[in-house]
């Protein structure tokens, strides 16, 4: 516990603090940048982009060694990965637009081909004298052990630019994500905006290679926006909530990894993000599983209450245990099912409302108005007092509900 608190408060050493800050910044950038790709229903594009970076890493290393360098310059490796990732993006877009193949088929083809090429290049590099200690395999799953200040600066600057671009382009990207036909009709270039979305994802994928690797960066781009969607219906809020979830996952994952040195940082970051997703899935106030269960139980209670009161109005005894308990808890019936004075009054009101709705359907030949009747919506929420008074005038005086004499 002490080690965890030290890491949480950035007191666990220079490298641990550097990794935690870098992971938090990367998580925020990944969450916010991946939002529109998720809303556009193109989450798999991030997978293809990430895998398309691998051959760029290998080619950049070979080129730098051929030019007399040691081939391990992070800037050079990231530049190479950006080039092949962009080529992969353009290939996906071209295949989907120019051929009969669907976009998912194009994504699968580009992902497989580029990843296979990257593995071949890594194998070739391992056979080179300069490649045996290059450590390029860390780009697959990430590695923070040798993270330098310059690496954190690259993540911070790149992530900040990605978040800034996401914010500046949020309006056209929102339009394209939700209604691309409307966006095209009012003059937006949908193809260009799609490429911008994927370009932002590519940028975050490239800067995240060192920290979490090309396989796990996909999770950081998708899990935070999916999690944020449980908490809001506003797209501009999803951006910041997703960024916050990604930042928290990156920071806490790095802290956990630093407090238990045998745990790899990249996978722990993804697991923390997954844990936040599960909590949101279960406990989000509007879209969570618990909220859905509570809404269903409230609806079920309303249905049972109405049916029970209709049974009382028809002078039937209530035999359904749940309905009986529900009405008894409200003081509308006695434990033996006989209605109380309050129960008879409520039953009379429910029965009269049924007849009022019948009159309303005769008067208003308007499905948009009377179609709102679901048996549970109070008539007072649909019609005015004067209208209800007219219904009552046509119905005549109310009929009292006598104590139950039958069975239900």
Say if residue 169 is exposed, middle or buried (CB neighbours under 10 Å; 0-12, 13-18, 19+): middle
Q: What six digits make up the tokens of 390?
A: 């007219």
The dihedrals phi and psi of 105, each to the nearest 5 degrees, come to: -70, -40
The answer to whether 197 and 180 are in contact (CB under 8 A) is no
pLDDT of residue 151: 74
Please tell me the predicted confidence (pLDDT) of residue 137: 66
Considering the domain boundaries, does residue 280 fall inside one? no
**What confidence score (pLDDT) does residue 149 get?**
78
Is 244 within a domain? Answer: yes
Residue 316 pairs in a beta bridge with: 406
| Number of folded domains that form the chain | 2
Q: Are residues 244 and 318 in the same domain?
A: no
Q: pTM, whole model, 2 decimals?
A: 0.79
Q: Along the 408 residues of the chain, how does pLDDT read in single tens digits? A: 787 787 777 777 777 888 888 888 889 999 998 898 888 888 788 888 888 888 988 898 888 888 877 777 778 888 888 899 899 888 988 888 888 888 888 888 888 899 899 888 888 887 776 655 556 666 766 666 666 777 778 888 888 888 898 888 888 998 988 888 888 898 888 888 888 888 888 888 888 877 777 778 888 889 999 999 999 988 888 999 999 999 999 999 888 888 887 778 888 889 999 999 999 999 998 889 999 999 999 999 988 988 888 888 888 878 888 998 999 988 988 888 888 899 888 888 888 888 888 888 888 776 556 556 667 778 888 888 888 888 888 887 766 655 544 444
- Cα first-last separation, the chain: 61
Specify whether the CB–CB gap between 207 and 154 falls below 8 A. yes
For residues 200 and 304, state if they share a domain: no
Residues 304 and 260 in one domain: no
User: Residues of 338-373 as b/e, b for ≥16 C-beta within 10 angstroms?
Assistant: ebbeebbebbbbbbbbebbbebbeeeeeeeeebeeb
Decide if 329 contacts 348 (C-beta within 8 A).
no
Pair (195, 234) in one structural domain: yes
> Quick check: is 142 in a domain?
yes
pLDDT value, residue 42: 80
Partners of residue 317 on adjacent β-strands:
407
Domain identity same for 246 and 308? no
Distance CA 232, CA 137 (A): 39
Residue 245: predicted pLDDT:
95
């Amino acid at each position: 516990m002490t080690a965890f608190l030290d890491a949480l408060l950035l007191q666990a050493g220079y490298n641990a603090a550097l990794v935690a800050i870098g992971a938090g910044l990367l998580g925020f950038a990944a969450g916010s940048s991946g939002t529109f790709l998720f809303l556009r229903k193109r989450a798999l594009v991030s997978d293809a982009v990430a895998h398309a970076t691998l051959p760029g890493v290998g080619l950049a290393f070979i080129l730098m060694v051929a030019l007399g360098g040691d081939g391990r310059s992070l800037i050079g490796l990231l530049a190479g990965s950006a080039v092949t990732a962009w080529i992969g993006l353009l290939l996906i877009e071209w295949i989907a637009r120019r051929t009969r193949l669907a976009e998912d088929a194009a994504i699968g083809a580009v992902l497989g081909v580029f990843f296979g090429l990257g593995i071949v290049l890594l194998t070739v590099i391992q056979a080179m004298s300069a490649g045996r200690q290059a450590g390029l395999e860390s780009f697959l799953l990430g590695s923070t052990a040798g993270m330098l200040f310059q690496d954190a600066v690259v993540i911070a600057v790149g992530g900040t630019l990605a978040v800034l671009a996401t914010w500046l382009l949020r309006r056209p990207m929102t339009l394209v994500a939700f209604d691309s036909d409307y966006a095209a009709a009012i003059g937006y270039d949908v193809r260009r905006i799609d490429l911008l979305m994927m370009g932002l994802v590519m940028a975050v994928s490239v800067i995240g290679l060192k920290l979490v690797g090309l396989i796990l960066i996909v999770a950081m781009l998708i899990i935070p926006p999916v999690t944020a969607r449980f908490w809001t219906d506003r797209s501009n809020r999803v951006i910041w909530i997703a960024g916050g979830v990604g930042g928290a996952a990156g920071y806490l994952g790095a802290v956990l990894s630093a407090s238990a040195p045998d745990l790899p940082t990249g996978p722990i970051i993804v697991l923390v993000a997954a844990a936040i997703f599960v909590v949101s899935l279960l406990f989000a106030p509007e879209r969570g599983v618990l909220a859905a269960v509570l809404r269903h139980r409230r609806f079920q209670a309303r249905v049972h209450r109405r049916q029970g009161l209709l049974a009382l109005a028809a002078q039937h005894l209530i035999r359904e245990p749940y309905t009986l308990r529900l009405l008894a808890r409200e003081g509308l019936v006695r434990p033996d099912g006989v209605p109380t004075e309050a129960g008879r009054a409520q039953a009379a009101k429910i029965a009269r409302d049924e007849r009022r709705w019948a009159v309303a359907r005769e008067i208003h030949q308007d499905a948009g108005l009377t179609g709102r009747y679901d048996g549970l919506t109070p008539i007072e929420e649909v019609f005015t007092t004067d209208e209800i008074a007219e219904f009552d005038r046509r119905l005549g005086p109310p009929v009292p509900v006598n104590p139950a004499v039958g069975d239900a």
